[in-house]
Chains A and B, each alone.
Chain A
Amino acid sequence: MGSKEICRNELRIAVRQLSDRCLYSASKWAAEQLVGIELDPVKFTPSNTRFQRGSSSIHRRFRNNEITSTPIAGVSYVSTPVMEEDDIVDGDFYLLAKSYFDCREYRRAAHVLRDQSGKKAVFLQCYALYLAGEKRKDEENIELEGPLGKSDAVNKELVSLERELSMLRKNGSIDPFGLYLYGLVLKEKGNEHLARNLLVESVNSYPWNWSAWSELQSLCTTIDILHSLPLNNHWMKDFFLAGAYQELRMHNESLAKYEYLQGTFSFSNYIQAQIAKVQYSLREFEQVEVIFEELLRNDPYRVEDMDMYSNVLYAKECFSALSYLAHRVFMTDKYRPESCCIIGNYYSLKGQHEKSVMYFRRALKLNKNCLSAWTLMGHEYIEMNNTPAAVDAYRRAVDINPCEFRAWYGLGQAYEMMGMPFYALHYFRKSVFLQPSDSRLWIAMAKCYENDQLHMLEEAIKCYRKAANSNDREAIALHQLAKLHRKLGRLEEAAFYYKKDLERMEAEERDGPNMVEALLFLATHCKDQKRFEEAEVYCTRLLDYTGPEKETAKSLLRGMRIAQSGFPSMSAEHFPP
């Protein structure tokens, strides 16, 4: 209980401090985690806890006087300096500047603070300038948009900001928020190494700024970098590590971390959504669906991450649920990239690909770096047989995140459609490298090897074997393996795979032409091997099917009977007296 109380107090103060510095999303995140902490059942009466789960409203009241009860210096096991508030002198100007900032008049806010020297004021001034630059950049992006939506606008404030912040740092008069901003600026300018160092410095001295953590996370592109970061121990580090593992596709480690965090933050919607994300990467769609249903019950107007839910519903073809979700987010906030992706998915499932593309385009208008929108739009173009557009969309996706294996796969598909198998193979290889546990990718690659242009059956067999080993849900690989082996005349191997395929089909109670093919092959094969009993079993099973195979089975059986009864005479033929 103690640690929960500590987290709660820390977060409460952090929310104030963050929103005082206009770091809105970090403050939102912190506040979300704050109410995500399980309440101490002794202290709170049932009437307070009833808002926790299974109820649509999440008004929770806390007694405010508790904040002051624990001294801040004692709460954390990081050597956190108490954030001393700036002198009262620039307080009024700060208030004015913050109000301007809240009204999104960034330059005006910066101007008000031009002569202030307090750390807080300096930070807000720099941050306002940074955002002013960002705003201008976005506008330029729209104004100077090239034919493919590309443009090379930059934030023009970066240079002066860097100069100012580096000077402050040399003076030693920079606070953790300033460090965060400095890191952000450097990251934008491409100086990743220094940016990392600064962000580490920032989170070590002020760990509750989630924005800093997530910037840091995006800079950790390999495991080695992650492990080399000199981070102090703090519970916020667990959040960071969980997210970083997830980015680095160490799904199980990430899941373990999140589950550990749930011990404290058991009602956190954020953690739930993240777990859903991990499960989605592990392709555990059922679980993802359950989690999202619960999330939606607790937080019915949530739009964040809901596009993933729609992906799951799309994959499972739950038409009514997807329609409901689409209508719902449409009413909640239709101009959010996530909403647009959901509606795009909805139209795609309805088969209206033009409309779907329109919504993905809208999502990208709202957020140019919306990864899933680029990828999904690529998929739509593939559906519409517009390969050049698809290739372009996929390329944009991999430009944003080179780890997006779906986009690499899509590229491979597009090139395969264009009859350029070597290109296709190159891209398939990339996607397989990123997601080696996905059988679909291996199968796609194998098909590419198999096709008439390349006809590299050995390689195809290798790929299929990989697919068969990595949880091949549609069970294509085994069948293909058997077929290829038969083609290559390796009957024993073929028989082995046919048998395996047969077992699998029996276990899953599937039926169909594959079954007939497997049975027929096994029957003939066993007969050729003179294992008549086995062959008979397969033949009798074949008799249940209609079609020419039945006749073949009959004749096989007949042949075997004759062979068995006439065996002595046959041997006599072989060994004439």
Chain B
Amino acid sequence: MREEEVEKLRGVVRDCVTKHLYSSAIFFADKVAAFTRDPADVYMQAQALFLGRHYRRAFHLLNASKIVLRDLRFRYLAAKCLEELNEWDQCLLMLGDAKVDEHGNVYDTKETNAMYLDKDGEDREINISSAICFLRGKAYEALENRSQARQWYKAAVKADPLCYEALECLINNHMLSSEEEASLLSSLHFGPEDEWLSSFYSCLIKKYDKENVVEAKFKELENESYSSNPSEQSFMRTLKNDTDLMACKAEYYHQCGEYQKCFELTSILLEKDPFHMKCTLVHLTAATELGHSNELYLMACNLVKDYPQKALSWFAVGCYYYCIKKYDQSRRYFSKATNLDGTFPPAWIGYGNAYAAQDEGDQAMSAYRTAARLFPGCHLPTLYIGMEYMRTHSFKLAEQFFMQAKTICPSDPLVYNELGVVSYHMKEYNKAVQWFEKTLAHISSSLSEMWEPTVVNLAHSYRKLKMYNEAILNYEKALALSTRSVCTYAGIAYTYHLQVFGYFFL
């Protein structure tokens, strides 16, 4: 067969692959490889086999041709086959030795990975070593070696910032604390044309910043525009309506406690893209907070119908039962979700919350502890453990856990509020005042009803410190946020009482 005919046949194989006719692709790739014995053609054949789900065969082909160890790409493909076959140790072995340090810097023992763009500069590809790092991370995660997994994911993102999957894994599984996330992001080297990606990533990571900072970030991204003709406004294309970005925004609203806003946004999004997983999750949690049980019911039914194997579906069922206060059933479904996917953080926390709602502190705490172990970057489990301890009046222990949560996420106001409460209970009113002041300083949006308890707490602390004027000032502030609070009125009255008659009791 002549060279051009072979070339034509290669074209056929590529076309078959894009049209998902894998058997034909395998057939022709086999012929091409038989003719030429060119390693590149063998690679193509292996690729076709991989896509046709003949993993063992592809692996055998790569292994038998003895070229596996020579080229990084071959090795990677072979490792991918092993990944699909769930042979994680073999997979790691195939990828070769390499060391990674805490910051995700790779020390390769043999090779130098200096191939950032190894094709002609036009179409960009993802750095192969980044893909390898990511696969290593996945393998370690499957082997339950989470610290190694985390480091390799970091290495993957570092090797090529375009490796979004690795970043997604890090974020979704709460592997990093917010500080670590920020430092990782700042250490990435973005190309000059990827400035937008940098700001996009900064929106993805945990969002406990001040409202205006976050808003500015979103604004910046939304204004990031593509326009063929900058003078005409109507032809501007922006990322403003991108689902991922909007989902991020919804997540931010959720974090701020603006559940109604969040719910509206996710409703619009889900109308556009009804199977967007992240958005669905945010939507579910917001609906649970708002008590929209009907919405939850329909969503749960549909999810279970469409994705019975996803943890998210059963999490939705759990949310529904949690929402209608049937905690036993809700627990059953949360635990089903965790059984399907042990690394699904919301289900663990929901499981704990469902126990906590029935005052079953021990079980709740064990669920939280699992969550804390699995998701070291998420401060909520530790925070909840602390709350459980507080409920049982173990203030010292509670404080310890709150401090731990504070180190994981130093910007969540809720942590400071809890610390304040603990200090108040331990009669350290000065400290309590400090913590409460700090809470109010960390609130990202303007003061809302959600933070009314903190203001009341602060007032109580001032009262205990006999700073009556400050106390009354804060009580009144609380009343402005919520006028129907009995205990605030009682607090004011009591403070006035103390102000007048306090001297008699001294």
Contact = CB atoms under 8 A, between A and B. Distances in A.
Interface of A: 54, 297, 320-321, 323-324, 327-328, 331
A323 B293 CA distance: 11
A50 to B, nearest CB: 12
Closest 5 pairs (CB-CB, A-B): A320-B301, A327-B294, A324-B298, A324-B294, A320-B298
Interface string B252-296: 000000000000000000010000000000000000000001100
A304 B271 CA distance: 24
Contacts of B302: 320
A346 to B, nearest CB: 12
B201 interface: no
A328 B298 CA distance: 11
B489 interface: no
Interface in B293-317: 293-294, 297-298, 301-302
9 contacts: A297-B271, A320-B297, A320-B298, A320-B301, A321-B298, A324-B294, A324-B298, A328-B294, A331-B294
Nearest to B268: A56
A323 B302 CA distance: 13
B393 to A, nearest CB: 41
A324 B294 CA distance: 6
A58 to B, nearest CB: 15
**Of A54, A324, A331, which is in contact with the most chain B CB atoms at under 10 Å from its CB?**
A324
Contacts of A324: 294, 297-298
A405 B294 CA distance: 35
Contacts of B298: 320-321, 323-324
Interface of B: 271, 293-294, 297-298, 301-302
A323 B297 CA distance: 9
A414 B301 CA distance: 37
A341 to B, nearest CB: 18
Given A54-B271, A324-B297, A327-B297, 13 more contacts: A297-B271, A320-B297, A320-B298, A320-B301, A320-B302, A321-B298, A323-B297, A324-B294, A324-B298, A327-B293, A327-B294, A328-B294, A331-B294
A427 to B, nearest CB: 39
Nearest to B293: A327
A297 B294 CA distance: 16
A323 B298 CA distance: 8
Nearest to B304: A320
Contacts of A328: 294
Nearest to B300: A320
A158 B271 CA distance: 52
A45 to B, nearest CB: 10
Contacts of B294: 324, 327-328, 331
A297 B301 CA distance: 19
A324 B320 CA distance: 13
B157 to A, nearest CB: 38
Contacts of A321: 298
Contacts of B301: 320
Contacts of A327: 293-294, 297
Nearest to A321: B298
Nearest to B302: A320
A343 to B, nearest CB: 13
A54 B268 CA distance: 10
B214 to A, nearest CB: 27
B27 to A, nearest CB: 32
B301 to A, nearest CB: 4
Contacts of A331: 294
B273 to A, nearest CB: 13
A323 B296 CA distance: 12
Contacts of A320: 297-298, 301-302
Nearest to A331: B294
A321 B294 CA distance: 10
A410 B301 CA distance: 34
A422 B297 CA distance: 48
A331 B301 CA distance: 20
A109 B271 CA distance: 48
Nearest to A326: B294
A320 B293 CA distance: 13
Nearest to A319: B301
A324 B297 CA distance: 7
B22 to A, nearest CB: 28
Contacts of B297: 320, 323-324, 327
Nearest to B298: A324
**Of A297, A321, A327, A331, which is in contact with the most chain B CB atoms at under 10 Å from its CB?**
A327
**Of B271, B298, B302, which is in contact with the most chain A CB atoms at under 10 Å from its CB?**
B298
Contacts of A54: 271
Contacts of B293: 327
